Chain A
């Protein structure tokens, strides 16, 4: 080995972090001294090149994803924030609530299966029989509306909650076909609502967002008189909610 400083050694010296052996070599070596001067001269253009890099553009959906994730985290954490005195009783409640969600999703799956058998039936109101009475049907629409920008959501909400929008049979090849499958839909809802949330959705709309197929899910909100509206991508599944938009709206009276 020739003992000359390599690039890292020169860089360390430049940073004031050179080892003693490097410093003593440098003092007696014209070649390394010249290389150090060369490297020092390159600092300004390198810093200028770095400073000129454009700031990465923040994805439009990042804020919505974060808001939704934090809101869900908050609603779940309400369980553990109760005073110690009632924690024990609350644990029982939490287990019960989890069971209700499971029942809710199971019931939802069952009701959607039934509705698939009777596509001629278009609204919950016209449904008859003891089973239907036991499991409320989720008002479901297939408006195909593009909700970007989301201003139209509040106006559409009353019709969505009644399930009175169009209810088209999904076309083959439609990216949302998968989410018409009750089991797939239940996985998506579980990702959205979390295991301790309030239960089955209040409304669904197979729609679009910013040109892409999207599912609108209206869930009960923790706040009184409000509903939480999620617009999720067609790939929504257990563990990956793919929220494109989240907004909390006043519940229509």
Chain B
């Protein structure tokens, strides 16, 4: 990663000196990973694929223009991912502010049906798409793109603990949706697809000791 970042910084510096090929080379190195993160952050639908391509193109163009403002405090790939992920999250939030057609209800899978068969990729994709946006973005970076929690926190611009909490809450919802809990009722399942109060605002656990 560190050698990759040195290479990326060299390309960015060459771009700022006016090398016409440098930024294209940098974009080429990161394009596919940025696209995968964008598609999944946007929910993975066919429509998300088009939006992801637009988001990656717009983000790389704005990175191209803003290259002079890159101060080197983060890895170049972190910086590029931050621009793409923010573009995706902005788009999703704008969409969420408008009334939309609700997703079809998906019953949580019955664990007894899952004893001998694993869920299909489509089930996992649908469960991931139904997560609150912030939880999905964290899981996409950490569990799917394989980023360390610290770097994901840099990309998302939130504390490390918040990324851990969002990933864990997202995985818990996936466990319910995919039928991996033996006793789902024991955990008072929160409504799927609705943003819970954010970190620090957990409902008080009460003084029941």
Contacts and interface: CB of A to CB of B under 8 A. Distances in A.
Contacts of B27: 66, 70
B176 interface: yes
Given A11-B165, A17-B164, A42-B181, A66 B56 contact: yes
Interface in B18-34: 18, 20, 23-24, 27-28, 31-32
A3 B178 contact: no
B103 interface: no
A155 interface: no
A79 interface: no
Interface string B172-187: 1111101011110011
Contacts of B119: 49
Contacts of B44: 56
Q: Which residue, A1, A4, A46, has most C-beta atoms of chain B within 10 A? A: A46
Contacts of A8: 169, 172, 190, 196, 202
A-side interface mostly? helix
A203 B138 CA distance: 48
Contacts, number: 183
B152 interface: no
Max chain A CB contacts within 10 Å: which of B35, B56, B61, B208? B208
A38 interface: yes
Nearest to B144: A50
Interface residues of A, number: 59
Interface stretch (A20-28, A117-125, A230-238): A20-28
A177 interface: no
B183 A19 contact: no
A35 B49 contact: no
A10 B184 CA distance: 12
Contact of A5 (B52, B161, B205): B205
